[in-house]
Structure 1
Amino acid sequence: MTPDYQLPPLNDPKLFESLICDLFNENTDIPSYKLFGKNGHQQKGIDIFSNHMRSVIQCKLKDLTRNRAILKRELFADIEDTINKLMGHQPTLSYDTLYIVTTLSEDPDFDEYCEAIRLEKGFQPTVIFWGWESIQKKLANTKTTIKIYYPNYAHYAAPREDLIKYRVEMKQKIERDFGLWLNFDTGKRTRNSKMIIHSIDDQYYPAHVYNTYEEPQWFGGEISRLSHNGLGFVTGIVNIYLFEDGQWTSEKPLEEAMTIKAARIEVVAFEDILQYDLNGDEHYSSPHFYCKFNHSGRPFVETYYQNLDPQTKNRHMFFDNTTQKPY
């Protein structure tokens, strides 16, 4: 299973080690992985081990608010240091695989470096690197671990009838509370259309922090309209290009096409809206939405475009991003 959601890395090193230990245990037939030593004990380059699986694991939690280039150099040094410790202070464990697991994103350079430093040092065990994307994929296959460390995650979603009930109730709630916006065209609204959209996992607001997909954890967008999927927000004004056969593109084509000014509307699913605050805060007085950013680090499940060109509105009002056709 390859997920398209984004889970925030944990920010406590010991909790991260515990997560990885539980994750390995749930993904193996025999749960034999254990934390190695305690605080104050020499860990000899090992955080977790399994005699049965002949494996040792070194966990490296990184502060993702720091410069990525610095973090990358730091992790290279960590990998070498781990191998040096294992070779210099042989633990009384039998193992033939070393896992390096980290909250940093995947990068082929890390895999290549693991193999290069292994050969350079004459380190016999296999060295396997897991970045945060690999950890997420493994988490997607668990039932217990995901619930313990990510209780808000939708993978173990409630039964279908509960999901439908939540969607309908959220839609009705938004219709009631946002009527002064949704019942009027943008130009005729008496209230500012700008809203603030937060990830429920963001801990740094009002500072801007980016997740492992390099996406912001909060941003502004103009409330637009409801659809069957959820609540739409205008996230940009762009040009789209309409061909004679009805197809269109957002990339400027070489061939002749009609240029149309359009609003890009991105939709947050009702089930991904956890809560909202109509009154805002001291930073932004407009309503704030708190959402799950489970779709490649973003909260949106659908994108379409609304025609803003008065000369062509009567012909085509909306443009579907999936079919590349107007409707």
Structure 2
Amino acid sequence: MGTHQLTTINNSDTFEDSICDLFNHLESTFTYKRFGKNGHNQKGIDVFSTEKDCAIQCKKKDLSRKDLLIKKEIFNDIEKDVNKVINDDLKVKIDKLIFVSTYKDHPEIDEFCEILKEELNTDFEIIYWGWDTLESKFLANKELLNKYWSNFIIKTDSKETHFKRNLDLKKKIAKDFGNWLNDSQANRKLRSRILLRAFDGTQYPDENEPDEFGQYSWFRAEIKSLYHKGMEFIIGIDEIQVFEDYTWDFTSNDNEPKGELVNVAKVGQINFSDIIDYDIDGDEYYMFPHVFCKFIHKGTPFENIYYYNLDKTYEYFEIKDKRK
């Protein structure tokens, strides 16, 4: 199965209806229904099932805002609604209170639910399902896909299709980036600059705040070469010390080096599968090529990072990190 992405549901009533349908399907029941509507005293819940002793609160979020703001808002929502359930004399017996959201899954929200349960000593579990979880559940149900995403078509990508797509992309990149790839490293200078961008990033060009991994959704790099699975980019220059047994470590200002000092380029490898597309001309902000990628490797597009020697005419050598 290929990678699919459902658009989030933007209407609050439709979102709650879809959650009723989803949980009725998942738990093989017809007892999940909406607990009133906007304007009613919903006492902290939107959907419930008396048979399953489960209540659900639906949180449709404006995803155009900063992640930090959305996450903080969800923390506040969960705490406020849990206190409503406790203090507003809810007559429905519940063993689980599930918060579902159009915002993504996040471990900090899961941890917050656990902490809140302990602090308030609730009789019910507090659980969070973000859009990643909901999407996987909806994708497994054709009936719900037809009902809420009638224009969505699942396409199965065979290995042959995937292989051909990557091979075609490699040929296209080799042609379009020929002026960069075929020029010597010494002659490239500024002309080899590339802007790497998350294809689904929302910060460019006005801001560039790091994510939870401390990584950025767009940054400059220097194109280096193609490799058998994708493109290579120089993303930094480091100084290391290589020891007699060919292990190595980064140099430190705190200690005297104990090995041979070597300047190395830090090279990131991006798989063709993680390259969505590119714009060879750039835009009015950065007038050099933009490569749009999936930033799925701990906040980066790089499936692998290695170092190579800058002091020996770009000669490759295998180096092993002494810290491992």
TM-score range, shorter chain: 0.7 to 0.9
Residue 269 of structure 1, aligned match among 264, 268, 271: 271
Q: Aligned-pair distance for 1:39? A: 4.7
Aligned pair count reads: 303
Cα 1:265–1:159 shift into 2, 3 Å: same
Gaps of 5+ in 2: none
Q: Aligned-pair distance for 1:239? A: 1.6
Question: Counterparts of 1:235 and 1:290 in 2: how far apart (Å)?
Answer: 16
Q: Aligned-pair distance for 1:177? A: 0.3
Cα 1:218–1:27 shift into 2, 3 Å: farther
1:282 partner SS: coil
The residue correspondences of 1:156-175 to structure 2 (distance < 5 A) are 158-175=157-174
Q: Aligned-pair distance for 1:117? A: 3.8
Cα 1:31–1:85 shift into 2, 3 Å: same
Question: Counterparts of 1:8 and 1:319 in 2: how far apart (Å)?
Answer: 43
Question: Counterparts of 1:297 and 1:31 in 2: how far apart (Å)?
Answer: 40
1:114 aligned partner: 116
* 2:235 maps to amino acid: T
Q: Aligned-pair distance for 1:27? A: 9.3
1:124 aligned partner: 123
1:78 aligned partner: 77
User: After alignment, is 17-26 or 221-230 more displaced?
Assistant: 17-26
Residue 19 of structure 2, aligned match among 18, 21, 43: 21
Question: Counterparts of 1:157 and 1:209 in 2: how far apart (Å)?
Answer: 36
Q: Aligned-pair distance for 1:140? A: 6.0
2:225 aligned partner: 225
* 1:21 maps to amino acid: I
| TM-score, length-scaled by structure 2 | 0.74
Question: Counterparts of 2:41 and 2:236 in 1: how far apart (Å)?
Answer: 54
Question: Counterparts of 1:37 and 1:95 in 2: how far apart (Å)?
Answer: 17
Question: Counterparts of 1:212 and 1:26 in 2: how far apart (Å)?
Answer: 35
Cα 1:82–1:255 shift into 2, 3 Å: same
Cα deviation digits, residues 162-197 of structure 1 (max 9, x gap)? 111111111111000001001122221376111111
Question: Counterparts of 2:28 and 2:21 in 1: how far apart (Å)?
Answer: 12
Question: Counterparts of 1:20 and 1:299 in 2: how far apart (Å)?
Answer: 34
Work out the percentage of aligned pairs sharing the same amino acid.
31
Cα 1:94–1:173 shift into 2, 3 Å: same
- Checking the alignment, whether the CA contact within 8 Å between 1:225 and 1:232 is kept in structure 2 is yes
- Checking the alignment, whether the CA contact within 8 Å between 1:22 and 1:145 is kept in structure 2 is no
- Checking the alignment, whether the CA contact within 8 Å between 2:222 and 2:234 is kept in structure 1 is yes
- Checking the alignment, whether the CA contact within 8 Å between 1:196 and 1:219 is kept in structure 2 is yes
- Checking the alignment, whether the CA contact within 8 Å between 2:54 and 2:94 is kept in structure 1 is yes
* 2:304 maps to amino acid: E
2:299 partner SS: coil
Question: Counterparts of 1:169 and 1:267 in 2: how far apart (Å)?
Answer: 18
The residue correspondences of 1:38-53 to structure 2 (distance < 5 A) are 38-53=37-52
* 1:166 maps to amino acid: R
2:123 partner SS: coil
Q: Aligned-pair distance for 1:261? A: 0.7
1:65 pairs with 2:60:
no
Question: Counterparts of 1:118 and 1:89 in 2: how far apart (Å)?
Answer: 15
User: After alignment, is 95-104 or 301-310 more displaced?
Assistant: 95-104
1:195 pairs with 2:194:
yes
| TM-score, length-scaled by structure 1 | 0.73
Cα 1:306–1:196 shift into 2, 3 Å: same
The residue correspondences of 1:1-327 to structure 2 (distance < 5 A) are 14=12, 21=19, 25=23, 28=26, 30=28, 36-60=35-59, 61=61, 65=66, 72=72, 75-90=74-89, 93-101=92-100, 103=103, 105-107=106-108, 110-119=112-121, 123-129=122-128, 136=132, 143-144=139-140, 158-189=157-188, 192-207=191-206, 208-250=208-250, 256-310=258-312, 313=313, 317-319=316-318
Question: Counterparts of 1:16 and 1:215 in 2: how far apart (Å)?
Answer: 35
* 1:220 maps to amino acid: R
Gaps of 5+ in 1: none
Q: Aligned-pair distance for 1:215? A: 2.7
Cα 1:163–1:67 shift into 2, 3 Å: closer
Question: Counterparts of 1:106 and 1:16 in 2: how far apart (Å)?
Answer: 27
Cα deviation digits, residues 135-161 of structure 1 (max 9, x gap)? 6467668744799799xxxx9871111
Question: Counterparts of 1:178 and 1:86 in 2: how far apart (Å)?
Answer: 60
* 2:124 maps to amino acid: P
Q: Aligned-pair distance for 1:260? A: 1.2
The answer to which structure, 1 or 2, has the higher relative contact order (CA under 8 A, 6+ apart) is 1
* 1:317 maps to amino acid: Y
Question: Counterparts of 1:26 and 1:223 in 2: how far apart (Å)?
Answer: 51
- Checking the alignment, whether the CA contact within 8 Å between 2:233 and 2:269 is kept in structure 1 is yes
Question: Counterparts of 2:86 and 2:233 in 1: how far apart (Å)?
Answer: 55
2:183 partner SS: coil
- Checking the alignment, whether the CA contact within 8 Å between 1:304 and 1:318 is kept in structure 2 is no
Question: Counterparts of 2:258 and 2:88 in 1: how far apart (Å)?
Answer: 70
Cα 1:245–1:28 shift into 2, 3 Å: farther
Q: Aligned-pair distance for 1:44? A: 2.6
